[in-house]
Structure 1
Amino acid sequence: MPITAQHIRATVNAYLDQRPEDKRKIAVVQGLLDDDGDLTSRKTLPGHVTAGVILVGRDGRVLHILHSATGKWLLPGGHIEPSDNTLLQAAGRELAEETGIPPYVVTPHSEIPLHIDVHPIDANPVKDEPAHQHFDFRFLFRTTADIGELQAEEVADAAWRSVESLTDEQLKRRVVRTLLKDPFAT
């Protein structure tokens, strides 16, 4: 069963129960849910939901991918597919597709995202997409595996980087806090 507005709303509510300070930042998502838009479709404007992964390896570093279209180092993730049942599953699928790391060697930290980021996406004339926003539900996963075969169409490279390399300060603080509370056992 595809991801529903009800599932997205429940995920947002669970997230805000843990992180009420983010209410204003993600109010746009709640407003669009109230408007009954299909936030899982990449055609939905002014924005739509995506699923991302903060993958922490055995040494505490975070996996980054070099996104071919943007030329930027990003966290793995992407658009929702009709076959996705949950946002967490979508994040795991995107991770496997982009990095070749199979789902059975990663463990999610929680079914609640560690971070929901709202960020602008530039227009993409090749895909006939105007500028819009991504509402990126980012889940923390852990693994002892290494990078597999990269999805050549979208990913030019992948590298493990320190938590300090995360550019979003709020995300960085949350990752550090989570790792301090629940260190990864190898």
Structure 2
Amino acid sequence: MTSGSALLDDVGVALRDAEPAGPAERFEQTAWLALLASTGEGLLRREQAPAHLTASAAVLSPDGSQTCLVFHHKMQLWVQPGGHFDAGDTSGAQAAAREVVEETGLSGRVLGAPVLLSRHPAPCAPGIVDYHLDLQYLMITDVVDPTPSDESPQVRWWPVGELPGDLASGVPELVRRAGQVLKAQR
């Protein structure tokens, strides 16, 4: 993947602009910034071990009452759309938006800085890559039928108060935080 200094700069700004909600999140933010400074573009590559950056988005309806999730075939859990950085990505927000389009067919407006920084086990290369460092954004889009893809054959809207039981950890917090950001934007 070739990303260039503009993408690195954007990711650094996105990490600095994220607003940690407490000491644990502040520590993650500081650690990710240190990793980015020491690893550079390598942190944007899916081969980077033991961790690399990814981008995703909580997809919410304009009123914040519904969220669109995809069923992750490797994990067998519902998650927000997202994934690895690709060649041609220009920012974390753009990478998250691209992933949403690829996995759901939905497009919309991505708001500001990441609403959450999530370090979670990486299903992409077990035993080699331990963690995804996920920049989690908020995307607003109308509730229209999503388009399943080969990567995500199960995609659907859920009421935010009735999320599925087979949900990846961290998704409820992401949806909650995204809803707070959306309310603050109104």
Same fold per superposition (TM over 0.5): yes
Specify the SS of the correspondent of 1:44.
coil
RMSD of aligned Cα (Å): 2.4
- CA drift at 1:58: 4.4
The reply on whether 1:32 has 2:26 as its aligned counterpart is no
SS at match of 2:74: coil
Q: Which residue pairs with 1:174 in the alignment?
A: 177
Find the counterpart in structure 2 of residue 65 from structure 1.
70
Tell me how far apart the structure 2 counterparts of residues 97 and 32 of structure 1 sit (CA, whole Å). Answer: 28
Shift of 1:179: 3.5
Sort the Cα spacing of 1:98 and 1:9 in 2 relative to 1 into closer, same or farther, 3 A: same
The reply to whether residue 76 of structure 1 matches residue 81 of structure 2 is yes
Q: Separation in 1 of the partners of 2:82 and 2:14?
A: 17
Distance 1:123 1:11 in 2: 24
| Contact kept? 1:163, 1:175, Cα under 8 Å | no
Q: Give the drift of 1:123.
A: 6.4
Query: Is 1:41 the counterpart of 2:45 in the alignment?
Result: yes
Amino acid paired to 1:45: A
1:14 and 2:14 aligned:
no
The one of 95, 116, 126 aligned to 1:90: 95
Which of 104, 107, 110 matches 2:109?
107
Question: How far 1:35 sits from its partner (Å)?
Answer: 1.3
Query: 1:137 aligned to 124, 135, 141, which one?
Result: 135
8 A contact 2:110–2:140 mirrored in 1 = yes
Matching residue of 1:157: 154
Shift of 1:8: 1.7
Question: Structure 2 length as normaliser, TM-score?
Answer: 0.81
Distance change >3 Å, CA 14–CA 181, structure 1 → 2? closer
CA distance in 2 between counterparts of 1:160 and 1:148 reads: 8
Deviations 1:66-101 (A, max 9, x none): 112222100000000011011111011101111112
- 1:155 is paired with a residue whose SS is coil
Q: Distance in 2 between matches of 1:123 and 1:12?
A: 23
Unaligned stretches of 5+ in structure 2?
Answer: none
- Give the 3-state SS of the residue equivalent to 2:48 in structure 1: coil
In 2, Cα distance between equivalents of 1:43 and 1:173:
31
Equivalent position of 2:56 in the other structure: 52
Aligned equivalents of 2:124, 2:90: Cα separation in 1: 28
Task: Give yes or no for contact 1:123–1:132 (8 Å, CA) kept in 2.
Answer: no
CA-to-partner distance for each residue in 1:89-134, whole Å, 9 max, x for gaps? 1011101111112x3xx11222x11111111124647xxx724210
Aligned to 1:7, the other structure's residue is in SS state: helix
